[in-house]
Structure 1
């Protein structure tokens, strides 16, 4: 009887737990008894541990998850007024600090992450604005919650279950505790995250139809894989990553409907900002949107873009420099966030209704299921027909007759003459002895 494998958190959660305790991959490798490359492959999701290594790794993650939280500096609490700012790490030469284009400081794992609980929003908003530093906050606009960072808020507006929905970080426990079915939980997640996600995807692609289609496809995947999404630590982040991946797929350039650009925004400032965003490389644009638009911190941005933290930091710096060169008024990170927020609010993009998304997902699933069944039946029928009509023994083919040229004439005695035939008959009738055997004569 095989033993059931020990459950493990998702790869992003493994990396977050390690960085929240200021541990390096070498430390984890030494604790578990593996190499650093093995730990890296576990955290990126390329491989999963097995056997005793899986048990040791799961016990290690449980141990660091139960450890007390780091000091206030690492938990995202506001620093005292006299606290010294973070010291930036050496980086490539660039503009002086204060213009939002200098190199970010060396990020301490867990720094800038908002505290969990009802006071998370208040602690997040008390951090000083970014001026060459890693973490900053963006005050919501007067109209209410920002359409960009609404999907990154840890409050109930984003996730009806909150970030403290269960001790094990799963939505299944929260659904059962709240008495919600899977349909109701999906509907609440869609209602709170889809509108903001459509605007984010529009800023990522610059196309309204593609943004709506990407969000719809992402929620299709979420509904198809709802058991996996329900146990994820951040279900809205799961859907956001799926929508971004679909929106940034390179094969969209071959679609005839997307060859013509969409009408630009009405405001000249928004038009210039959108053109600047579209001029950035795709990964730089995504990093800038996640950090300065959505409001994720640097480790979460690096994990979602599948890059290291230093690589994400320098992508962010290059994107900010490009924006500051073309639009100097947006050199400040807070001004850039406000510009992104204004551009997102100017687009009246509405996702389809949640009932249509779920029904469309189910129709698509039924269609592909029936197509797979029909294709399988077709293959089986063709195989059966081949077996029925195929010969059971080898039948060599008969070659057509051909004239062979260049063959030498037949050598040997030809046909006997009448004289020789008579002599042969005489010899056969005569006795076997006597002189006439040696000298036969015809009479």
Structure 2
């Protein structure tokens, strides 16, 4: 069990959660020992508590949440959720091939602007990245109207008219002399880091220095950016504003990342959840209750093998009518779907052998036998190809020996016999050569 996480939960929910845990998890020996240590006060000086703003200060008094935690405590606090994967950056990534990047949810919920503005100033923190357009430039700095966030939570703020000031001291100079503000003009899109927050008066101060960002965001470029560098979720948000009839489901299903076969693995890694032992809060869906053949990876492997076999059958039909190029394309397509498909390897090897590419054919047959040592056709074709390849070497050697003999005109009555199976016997009749047994000098 994760002791630190349990202590955090008890500190948040208080004694009521502790009593529920004791009643629900009394039969769990591991949890009993943890509850005993969790209820005891910590030894030594109490560390100063960090005063967190906004939602982090809110105390959760929902008894239903506490009941849920107590019933699922053995699953919620298990170490199986933890992963050794490195923590991912909070920057909004724009690679739509990985997963479906959606507009902010509040765009579909018709939340009043006043509430959205209040929630924004509740949740914004120092070090967060914001993006806006310069509205005016003064001698002490410039003002920018925020249009979106560049890190953390995605929010729809483009219509809230939230203004931030970037003081002159937080604007890097682009030359040794001259005004740093001369580099900027009204309408420029600026990426900046939050430096100061006045939540009561709803005022923000930003900086263009990377020192205003936390360490894991320090590599992000601050300053002027192009419209192509805007976060993808914001661009989707603009598209949604122009076509407000689209539903959340339609936008998600039309996203390229939504159909990515590896989307689950990518999101699990992004959340830091170990995929090798996937946990579930539903006891009936625990991984131990299912066979390995029922998991997505095994099912995907069977599906890929089935699709690859269809391509192989089409390729064989092309091969029979002499369309070798089309047949090769089908075999390659099958191996792109399933790299270890034995039938595709054997069929492609046979086509290579037919075209005279014996080395490539041998490689395919050997790889097929590695995946399936009992495959009859792979073994049969490999033997035939090896014999043909050996015969090719035999002919080459014979021509070389003939050339050598033509050059040795001083020797008479030379008779050369050679075999391929690791035995080569030379029988030479010449008065100038002596031999002992089967070794010749």
Q: TM-score, with normalisation over the residues of structure 2?
A: 0.26
Structure with higher RCO (Cα < 8 A, 6+ apart): 1
Greater share of residues in helix? 1
Greater share of residues in strand? 2
Q: TM-score, with normalisation over the residues of structure 1?
A: 0.26
Structure number, greater radius of gyration: 1
